[in-house]
Chains A and B, each alone.
Chain A
Amino acid sequence: MSCMRRFCHETQSHDSLHSCMCRRSVALLLLKMSEERDPAALSGSAQTEGEEDLFVSAMESPEAARLSAEDISPSSNGPRDDDPDDPDDLFAEATEEVSLDSPERQPILSDGPSPAITPVTISPRVDVFDRSPDLDEDEEENRDTFDIQISVSDPEKVGDGMNAYMVYKVMTKTSLSIFSRDEVCVKRRFSDFLGLHSKLASKYMHMGYIVPPAPEKSIVGMTKVKVGKEDLSSVEFVEKRRSALERYLLRTVKHPALLKDPDVLQFLESSELPRAVSTQALSGAGILRMVNKAADAVNKMTIKMNESDAWFEEKQQQFENLDVQLRKLHASVESLVCHRKELSVNTASFAKSAAMLGNSEDHTALSRALSQLAEVEEKIDQLHQDQSYADFYLISELLGDYVRLITAVKGVFDQRMKAWAKWQDAQVMLQRKREAEAKLQYASKPDKLQQATDEIREWEGKVQQGERDFEQISKNIRREVGRFEKDRVKDFRVVIIKYLESLVHTQQQLIKYWEAFLPEAKAIA
């Protein structure tokens, strides 16, 4: 879905960013007025394979650009880059939700030729979205229960040998009207998820959105599965991956902008998905990614940003500290999982040994007591195993997810730095062009002078755009970080409480077992 350039009364300009805000507010107004809108008509376009603008049925304006996922549209949303040759400019189908302005802004009716109806503004209602205070007040008004459930299940192996892969069933149950049906089931493979993430990252990260990272690839794990090893470790690997994919999708749809993204909707709903080959590590795109990553790392070192906003500096430091501690914690928890598994195995081994000892003991009562001890230890070994699963699936995976999420957070801070650098570079360029023009004043070359003047205008525009982009991304990041922190608090609270409850259960069972054993021990005479 594209946002169109509209004339906005407030700013008296064709500022696409601002226009989005205006249009949305209009849309909300209109929406409130017309509650009987047929959901099919609104979301019907979701069925199209990303070729059309999502809301083309509602938009009557001839300006509605029809975009495919790969097209670069000059009229798309987001910080605009006027350079059409910029390969990074994949703004297609960025949603309006990107531009949330401060509550003080008055919703202004747009003057455009058609009503700017954007049904997308059915904000999924939330208690999940505990947002930060500088939130669009309209969103606050429309808060509802966040009604979408996603499950990833039924892993199935397709194919044989090294070309084999796992396919997962992705089921979405929702009453949100942006979806075409209440319940959708599709089959997806791992690279599809990576492809989705790749698209979302390229669309949203540079705007300061924290895009949830996809689960990690694992060559070793997958090879075992491909080769057909049906042992416990490959079963565990598939389960671990399935769970990670599920969490990934849930986090993605929890993000208000991403939920409405057509790529996300397509992923969840359409039965056929073009194969995402660019996610392979050694593909052209993969190599390009690696090169870009390296370039980014170098740039990060060379950009010396003049931080005028203490909030950003403080937050960056906080996330840095959090990153260090979470990694440490993750390592300790992984160690605990390992040792608890070991404990379970060793307890089982001891139980067998104690049973044998009981058998060879020739004092009857002692023999029986030793057999009972063996039974207790066997039950305890099962307890330890269950506990180690809880350790892993509750805490360890949560920590792993957050370590990766924080990398994404740090990424958006880096994007802001890049935006700042771009703005600064534009300013430098402008200065140069001005100097060049000044020189040409005395050279009396009229056509060159004209060109120089044109160029100055061009760069003035770029400087303005750069500043706007920088401010926009800064604003977005503030909001995103607020949302992220709220989610983090909630996630950790919920998980840790669940984990403590699992520990309580373990202790209660232990008490039960030892209480049953004690009279047996006392009965030895």
Chain B
Amino acid sequence: KTVALHIFFDYLSPRAVNVDLQTDATLQVDISDALSERDKVKFTVHTKSTLPNFKQNEFSVVRQHEEFIWLHDSFVENEEYAGYIIPPAPPKPDFDASREKLQKLGEGEGSMTKEEFTKMKQELEAEYLAIFKKTVAMHEVFLCRVAAHPVLRKDLNFHVFLEYNQDLSVRGKNKKEKLEDFFKNVVKSADGVLVAGVKDVDDFFEHEKTFLLEYHNRVKDSSAKSDRMIRSHKSAADDINRIASTLYTLGTQDSTDLCKFFLKVSELFEKTRKIEARVAADEDLKLADLLKYYLRESQAAKDLLYRRGRALVDYENANKALDKARAKNKDVLQAETTQQVCCQKFEKISESAKQELIDFKTRRVAAFRKNLVELAELELKHAKGNLQLLQSCLGVLKGDT
């Protein structure tokens, strides 16, 4: 069964997700449309720009997930960008779980009433839609982060990505994602390098190193735990859904005064369960997604520190090599040049890294503030909504006796 969802995202601004970005009229990127087909999602990337490098002021292309990954990896591989926090790649769209559920529902159609089936189908379709919206948002955030970055926004590959209206033929790069996992493991052991390495002369970086290592692990833990919490919440909302259905049937069947009672309570639970589902969805958006995003960003920051660490090691090695060369009085010039290059590279990275890490903190604090405030406001809104429904129903039920 193919499920095709076609959505227009004019209203979905990057601010809907976890980052607080400055709009810049010179380059605005968003995902204006998306189409989900059997095994792929097609994003319509829409650009508005006054920059001279583009042929037009406004244009759109269609891109798939692999092409985003290709772009991200090209940043990572580019030595010029070693001193920047590379915006984390969006996660691969994963509809497998949702599709499986829809399929199971289809198979079990005979075993439930028509109302139940329709209800569950609506539920699952809403879930599918929510996952779909999320994946679109995450791909968009990636593009917006790049567009907002003073250096990365000028990248040629980025411009090709935005403008070239043919397929970028990066299919083979699927392997890249597999390598990505391998790379992650390499980076993990790089933690060892960061940790075991000599204490940094620079207090700022020393502090950042300690901070990021711990922070990253804690965010990972919180992200996992918030996911579990939200899943339980969804399960509970599903149970209330079933309870509401059964109460409805009881209400239609009962021969005593209870029939009206059951129907009223069934109606109430229908409404409260929708609110509970919304609470879980909002928690997911404002809390879980926030944590997931900063898990990826803190990893990107760690990667930066790692690159700087490597550059430092190279610099130190070049120094040692120079000393050796001078002592032996052999290939001194070459050693000097190498040492100069390493020194410059290291200092360039250090300088931009410092600014990047400061910006990272600013972004992080702003994003948490925004999302925590919105989370609290939404929780309040939903709790008040629930309360009002419960109290009015109670009023009716008590009055009836």
Contacts and interface: CB of A to CB of B under 8 A. Distances in A.
Contacts of B394: 497, 500-501, 504
A518 interface: yes
Interface string B233-267: 10110011011001101100111111001000100
A175 B394 CA distance: 35
B373 A522 contact: yes
B387 A511 contact: yes
A485 B257 CA distance: 10
A357 B239 contact: no
B293 to A, nearest CB: 14
Contact of A511 (B256, B380, B398): B380
Contact of A485 (B228, B256, B387): B256
Given A488-B256, A500-B390, A507-B390, A336 B243 contact: yes
Contacts of A518: 373, 376-377, 380
A329 B246 contact: yes
Contacts of B373: 518, 521-522
Given A354-B222, A493-B401, A343 B380 contact: no
Given A493-B401, A496-B397, A350 B229 contact: yes
Interface stretch (B43-51, B53-61, B212-220, B321-329): B212-220
A339 interface: yes
A522 B375 CA distance: 11
A314 to B, nearest CB: 8
Interface residues of A, number: 56
A503 B392 CA distance: 13
Interface string B358-387: 000100110011001101110110011011
A496 B265 contact: yes
In this complex, which of B246, B249, B256, B364 has the most chain A Cβ atoms within 10 angstroms of its Cβ?
B246
B393 interface: yes
6 contacts: A322-B253, A340-B232, A363-B361, A366-B364, A489-B258, A522-B369
Given A332-B242, A357-B222, A493-B401, A343 B236 contact: yes
Given A322-B253, A325-B250, A332-B239, A503 B376 contact: no
B215 A361 contact: yes
Contacts of B243: 329, 332-333, 336
A515 interface: yes
Contact of A524 (B226, B247, B254, B369): B369
B11 interface: no
A363 B215 CA distance: 12
B221 interface: yes
A492 B397 CA distance: 12
Contacts of A524: 365, 368-369, 372
B368 A366 contact: yes
Given A325-B246, A369-B372, 18 more contacts: A321-B253, A332-B239, A335-B235, A335-B242, A336-B243, A339-B235, A349-B229, A350-B226, A357-B218, A360-B215, A373-B372, A493-B397, A497-B394, A500-B265, A510-B383, A518-B373, A518-B377, A518-B380
Interface string A480-512: 000001001100110011001101100110110
B369 A346 contact: no
A324 to B, nearest CB: 9
Interface string A310-341: 00000000100110011011001101100110
B215 A514 contact: no
A325 B249 contact: yes
A492 B258 contact: yes
Interface in A344-383: 346-347, 349-350, 353-354, 356-357, 359-363, 365-366, 369-370, 373
Interface of B: 207, 211, 214-215, 218-219, 221-222, 225-226, 228-229, 231-233, 235-236, 239-240, 242-243, 246-247, 249-250, 253-258, 261, 265, 268, 272, 361, 364-365, 368-369, 372-373, 375-377, 379-380, 383-384, 386-387, 390-391, 393-394, 397-398, 401
A329 B250 contact: yes
Contacts of A359: 218
Given A332-B246, A524-B369, A504 B401 contact: no
B397 A336 contact: no
Contacts of A335: 235, 239, 242
B255 A318 contact: yes
A346 B228 contact: yes
Given A328-B246, A336-B239, A343-B236, A489 B257 contact: yes
A363 B368 CA distance: 11
Contact of B369 (A326, A328, A366): A366
A349 B223 CA distance: 11
Nearest to A500: B394
Which 4 residue pairs of A and B lie closest in terms of their CB atoms, listed nearest first? A343-B232, A336-B239, A521-B372, A524-B369
B263 to A, nearest CB: 12
A225 to B, nearest CB: 29
Contacts of A339: 232, 235-236, 239
B294 to A, nearest CB: 10
A386 interface: no
A349 B394 CA distance: 34
B253 A325 contact: yes
B282 to A, nearest CB: 12
In this complex, which of B226, B239, B365 has the most chain A Cβ atoms within 10 angstroms of its Cβ?
B239
A279 B236 CA distance: 39
Contacts of A373: 372
Contacts of B249: 325
A522 B236 CA distance: 30
Nearest to B249: A325
A349 B226 CA distance: 9
A489 B258 CA distance: 6
Contacts of A353: 218, 221-222, 225-226
In this complex, which of B211, B226, B361 has the most chain A Cβ atoms within 10 angstroms of its Cβ?
B226
Contacts of B258: 488-489, 492-493
Nearest to A314: B255
A492 B215 CA distance: 51
Contacts of B368: 366, 369-370, 524
A372 to B, nearest CB: 9
A517 interface: yes
A353 B394 CA distance: 37
Given A336-B243, A507-B386, A514-B380, A500 B393 contact: yes
Contacts of A318: 253, 255
A366 B243 CA distance: 40
A360 B365 contact: no
Given A362-B211, A510-B379, A500 B239 contact: no
A187 to B, nearest CB: 38
Contacts of A522: 369, 373
B218 A514 contact: no
B369 A521 contact: yes
Contact of B379 (A342, A370, A508, A514): A514
Contacts of A342: 232, 235
Contacts of B372: 369, 373, 521, 524
B235 A322 contact: no
In this complex, which of A350, A373, A501 has the most chain B Cβ atoms within 10 angstroms of its Cβ?
A350
Nearest to A492: B258
Contacts of B253: 318, 321-322, 325
Nearest to B394: A500
Contacts of B375: 521
Nearest to B280: A343
Given A322-B254, A332-B246, A489-B257, A349 B376 contact: no
A169 B386 CA distance: 41
B221 A356 contact: yes
Contacts of A525: 369
